[in-house]
């Protein structure tokens, strides 16, 4: 049975935002229900919210997966590979943030997050192997992971900024790495991918995938909540410029990963199919922007929201142009817009 993605609340616990909440939710009203959860709150939630890959049983989706059209399998494999590669990258880099956090409660909570990330890696790898029939140790698995834009574009920078925390040990480096890790990788990219992939899993009746993604989403909501609260504290402590700079350093890379210019994304010939595909892709772009600007408001930097939105849209446009140059054809988002304008 699929468990709820939202996290439970209780007296004095603080709230954990649902990272898959509908765009447009008012972060000062319906979305924000009091103070952000503390690290101690999040630790207690983690104790209650355990799950296992074995209980999800990814292999039960194998028959349904094989019944999908080749196009849909290709699209889903691309999405799952991006999630798997992202989880591997964050598992490899979180340790540096555990080394020197602001408080001991932060350190204890981050240790629970490392366990979560390892479980997420195991879930996605097991699903790819048992449900999708991909041998990750063979060439097909290596090719699938190598094609993920996150591995080529964002992961090297995440590794660089997290390694700097260990090298320098200073607080500014920790907050910069926090933004790259918790607010951009998880709060923007993973939140967007999880929402869109869960929607497709439900529509395609991939029950094990939907259940696993729901569990991952609940975990990631805790992780992002930690990042929001830690960044909010950092802004209050005088590290607002570091948090701001890190956001704008990472926006271009995040937009590139979301569009994926290196991945061929053919435009359907049937107008209705093209419109549907473009709406799905544009929806992901819009979710990413909504997550970005909402986070800035939540951590105490609302004055940056409009600038961040403009920067996001400009970087998305660059990525769409790069796609067109790479494939000598417009991305489905632009193809659909051009067809609509020609009517």
pLDDT for position 138: 84
130 within domain boundaries: yes
Q: pLDDT under 50 in the chain at which residues?
A: 1-12, 23-31
173 within domain boundaries: yes
Q: What is the CA radius of gyration of the chain?
A: 20
Place of tokens 């970087």: 315
Question: What three-state secondary structure class fits 11?
Answer: coil
32 within domain boundaries: no
CA 146 to CA 328: how far, in whole Å?
22
pLDDT for position 33: 53
Q: What is the dihedral of CA 219, 192, 235, 6, to 10 degrees?
A: -40
Residue 230's nearest CA partner among 173, 302, 292, 178 is 178
pLDDT for position 13: 67
282 within domain boundaries: no
191 within domain boundaries: yes
238 within domain boundaries: yes
Range of the domain at 146: 39-257
pLDDT for position 205: 97
163 within domain boundaries: yes
CATH number of the domain within which 121 lies: 1.10.620.20
CA 107 to CA 122: how far, in whole Å?
23
pLDDT for position 206: 98
64 within domain boundaries: yes
> In this structure, what are the phi and psi dihedrals at residue 296, rounded to the nearest 5 degrees?
-60, -40
pTM for the full model? 0.90
Number of structural domains found in the chain: 1
pLDDT for position 49: 94
The tokens describing 134, both together, are 């991909």
pLDDT for position 22: 56
């Amino acid at each position: 049975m699929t468990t709820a993605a939202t996290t439970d609340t209780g007296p004095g616990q603080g709230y954990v935002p649902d990272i898959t909440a509908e765009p447009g939710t008012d972060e000062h009203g319906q979305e924000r229900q009091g103070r952000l959860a503390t690290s101690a709150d999040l630790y207690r939630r983690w104790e209650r919210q355990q799950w296992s890959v074995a209980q999800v049983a990814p292999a039960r989706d194998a028959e349904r997966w094989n019944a999908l059209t080749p196009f849909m399998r290709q699209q889903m494999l691309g999405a799952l590979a991006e999630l798997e590669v992202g989880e591997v990258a964050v598992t490899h880099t979180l340790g540096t943030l555990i080394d020197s956090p602001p408080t001991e409660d932060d350190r204890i909570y981050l240790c629970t997050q490392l366990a979560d990330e390892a479980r997420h890696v195991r879930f996605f790898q097991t699903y790819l192997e048992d449900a999708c029939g991909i041998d990750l140790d063979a060439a097909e698995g290596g090719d699938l992971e190598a094609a993920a834009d996150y591995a080529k574009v964002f992961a090297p920078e995440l590794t660089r900024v997290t390694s700097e925390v260990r090298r320098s040990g200073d607080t500014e480096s920790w907050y910069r790495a926090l933004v790259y890790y918790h607010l951009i990788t998880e709060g923007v990219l993973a939140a967007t991918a999880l929402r869109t992939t869960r929607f497709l899993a439900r529509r395609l009746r991939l029950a094990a995938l939907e259940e696993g993604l729901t569990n991952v989403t609940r975990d990631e909501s805790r992780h992002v909540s930690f990042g929001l609260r830690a960044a909010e504290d950092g802004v209050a402590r005088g590290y607002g410029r570091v948090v701001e700079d890190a956001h704008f350093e990472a926006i271009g890379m995040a937009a590139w990963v979301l569009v994926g210019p290196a991945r061929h994304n053919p435009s359907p010939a049937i107008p209705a199919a093209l419109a549907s595909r473009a709406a799905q892709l544009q929806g992901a772009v819009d979710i990413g922007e909504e997550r970005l600007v909402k986070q800035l408001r939540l951590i105490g930097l609302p004055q940056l929201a409009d600038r961040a939105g403009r920067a996001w849209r400009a970087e998305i446009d660059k990525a769409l142009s790069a796609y067109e140059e790479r494939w000598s054809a417009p991305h489905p988002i632009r193809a659909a817009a051009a067809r609509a304008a020609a009517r």
